[in-house]
Structure 1
Amino acid sequence: MNLYHLRYFVTLAHLEHYTKAAELLSITQPSLSHAISSLEKELGVKLFEKEGRNVVLTKCGQVFLEDVQQALSILDSSVSKLQMTGSGEGQIDIAVLRTLSTQFVPGLVRDYLKEHPRQNIEFRFHNSTGLTPDMIEGLKSRKYDIAFCSKMENEPTVEFIPVAKEELVLIVPNGHPLCAREEIDLSETLPYPQIAFSRRSGLRPIIDRLFHGCGGQPEIAYEVEEDQAVAGLVAAGFGIAVVPHMALLQYMPVQIIRIANPTWERKFYMCTLKDVYQAPAINDFKEFVKQHSMV
């Protein structure tokens, strides 16, 4: 079905006059008549009938007009959005680990928009489980354009660009025997029940390796998925935990203890798919992030 014929049909339906419609469309009247005849032949119904010197829609034509106008409106809107995207505007869909969602990523977006005040760019932040594997899966399914999360091994189609880092610390509830310590060797925590990250978390294998290097694994009291949930259980007295040194800890009833040995820093990454088309606005924001990374 010819798209031009559909637009001719809508114009004629509104003007109800072949000569006026042809003039508005900048085509000849025979060309318009041929287009409408072709459309009617393809559909197998009459769309117009004569009424004096004018034409009016048949009942079938009235129904068809509603659907065609809706379809053309959707198409025109989509074309407009793509044209904006191609000119450096449009929408950027982002997934963010919650530990990066309070300051780091919002700060990057704010600073980027300040440097590009004339660009019509909408950033959309998507809720997720907060786990890196789910964000990477969202990238692959094209749900997200960019994900700010941890690094995953064996992901050859994903580009991981380090943008921020965070050290691991030990947190204990107020009143715990280790409260008075300012720093600690990780092996000294082995006698105490601990809150661990679930095995789906990118941090779990890292922390397990740190403990393995210390000569043992702690007793696991609970396993949970997110940083905030781990800290919440510690604050409630269910155990101690090794967690990223996130800003949230300053406002919780826990003591933060530096881990003197072994030392380790958690890195965060900006993740995008390799070898796929990215709109100009996305590439521009990626370059901005690279220039303003903390690593």
Structure 2
Amino acid sequence: MNLYHLRYFSVLAETENYTQAAKMLSITQPSLSNAIHSLEQEVHVQLFAKQGRNVYLTPAGHQFVQQVDQALAILDRGVAEIQQSTQRNTLIKVAGLRTLSTKWLPNTAHNFLAAHPETDTRFKFSNDTGLSPDIIANLREEKYDVAFCSKVDDQNDIDYFPIAEQELVVITPLDHPLAKKKAITLTETLPYDQITFSTRSGLYPVMQRLFSECGGQPNSAYSIEEDQAVAGLVANNFGIAVVPNMSSLKTMPIRIIPLTFPKWKRVFYMATLKQHYLTPAVQQFVDFVKAQRQQ
């Protein structure tokens, strides 16, 4: 059944005048007449009867126009919802570790938008807890399109792509006995109270393993989840710490000492769900991040 014919029928039923209806539809009167005739032949029912120069709906026409108007209203709502959905598809929902969200992620999003000025893409940045296990859990619930965090597990439902690295450093208060050292090993940190990572942090098992290689575990004065919070306690003389070399460290009143042994790098990843549909905007952003990494 021709959709245009149904719309023509609806307008003619409202106006009951071919000339007026044709003008409203921006078509010729013969075209309208032919369309109504074709529709009546298709449904095998007379929909209109003549009354002078006007027409009026037959009883069958009255019944049919109610169904047609309902169907057209449903169709129009569907089209509107699809259009709104298409507009929403320009939204990219991202989440990231706080160490990435302070500089790297905003810069990357800004550079992506600058490289694609023809799009109306927008970003929605998550206010997640900032811990990789929570970020990945929410990614699996499809709360985000893309996540930037540490690798949490080896399950095959997530595609991890490396995007950045950080070496470990030792940080101390400015007046600490170790503050004058130009380089240091983990063994040299063992006599001093340390701010360590809690078991919920992705760095906890890493630090356990690295200290084991050096013959002992640190005396933990405080156990903290986030690396920036760890650095804040060090800056206020609560102890020393071994942390990734974040850019924010340079803004704090602490000493940053290169770690010579054991060597280890923290790798950050872009994480996406393998079975999650990526809209064109999201796929374009994912490809952009990969291309930037490969340059």
Could you state the TM-score of these two structures normalised by the residue count of structure 1?
Answer: 0.77
What is aligned with 2:91? 91
Alignment of 1:51-200 (within 5 A): 77-84=80-87, 90-200=90-200
What is aligned with 2:28? none
Shift of 1:34: 3.0
Could you state the TM-score of these two structures normalised by the residue count of structure 2?
Answer: 0.77
Select the structure of larger CA radius of gyration. 2
Distance 2:139 2:265 in 1: 25
Alignment of 1:3-18 (within 5 A): 17=14
For structure 1, the residue ranges without an aligned partner over 5 or more in a row are: 43-67
Shift of 1:19: 3.3
Letter in 2 for 1:125: F
Deviation by residue 1:141-190 (Cα, 9 ceiling, x = unmatched): 11100000001123321111001111110101121110111110111111
What is aligned with 1:58? none
What is aligned with 1:59? none
What is aligned with 1:224? 224
For the residue of structure 1 that corresponds to 2:16, the secondary structure is: helix
Shift of 1:76: 5.0
Q: Specify whether residues 174 and 287 from structure 1 end up closer, same or farther in structure 2 by C-alpha distance, changes over 3 A only.
A: same
**Percentage of matched positions with identical amino acids:** 43
**RMSD of the TM alignment (CA)?**
3.1
* Contact 2:13 2:65 (8 Å CA) reproduced: no
Distance 2:279 2:183 in 1: 47
What is aligned with 1:213? 213
Deviation by residue 1:189-247 (Cα, 9 ceiling, x = unmatched): 11111111111111111111110111110111111111111011111111111111111
Distance 2:94 2:180 in 1: 41
**How many residue pairs were aligned?**
255
Q: Does 1:19 align with 2:16?
A: yes
Distance 1:252 1:160 in 2: 32
Q: Specify whether residues 196 and 79 from structure 1 end up closer, same or farther in structure 2 by C-alpha distance, changes over 3 A only.
A: same
* Contact 1:163 1:294 (8 Å CA) reproduced: no
